[in-house]
Amino acid sequence: MSVFDRLRIVAAAALLATAFAVRAPTQPTGTTTVSNPREVRRVERFTHVAAFLNLAQGTVRLVAIVPTDSRASLAAVDTVASIVLNNPSKRLRAYVILRGGNEAESSIRAAILAGRASDSRIVVLWDQTAAVSEYWKPGTTPGVWLYDTSATFGEQLPKASLVVAAPAGPDARLNGAALRDTSYELVRTVEAKMGRSGGGP
């Protein structure tokens, strides 16, 4: 990489810093919430992510794992964001885990990806070492795991209601229709149950 390329990366990072924050947690990740949906929180342990997911038990949860260095990740994040944005239910959540990357350029990519997930129900996490996302064995393309309201995360992953992975190729896209339809059906099911039990919409 030339000196010019390095300076360009540093300059771009400085500009993006005004719009996006990429930082390490100041307290255990599993006990915090993300107030700014464009903020990226670094994670190093699966237990931290499991705590996030378990705090949201009772909701339908989308877990998207996207490589920071893949062009297909932009479309994958857009797909997840669209599914959440187009369903106003508070019982639908998404967790976008950005996988890999230690260089300055990866920081920029992580910030750009996070900026595409603007809904407050979407949490963006950055797994630089890929140690956390490896629990899902995601492969090299973006993938999304859909969990129902009863799924509990422990030493073993719970069974997903649906798994959708993008096929190989830089421009590959997730099957957004399957994710949307299945997640919305799970949301309708839990809202109907809550309505019958007097738990509200």
- The domains located in the chain, with CATH, are 20-196 (3.40.30.10)
Which residues fall within 8 angstroms of residue 81, CB to CB, at 6 or more apart? Answer: 94, 116, 117, 118, 119, 122
User: Quick one: average pLDDT of 73-81?
Assistant: 93
What percent of the chain shows pLDDT beyond 90?
52
Q: Is this model's pTM higher than 0.95 or not?
A: no
Pairing of strands 143-147, 122-127: unpaired
Beta strands in the chain (DSSP E): 22-23, 40-42, 60-67, 92-99, 122-127, 143-147, 162-165
User: Quick one: average pLDDT of 168-182?
Assistant: 86
136 vs 12: which has the higher pLDDT: 136
Specify the pLDDT at position 34.
36
What tokens does 21 get?
């924050």
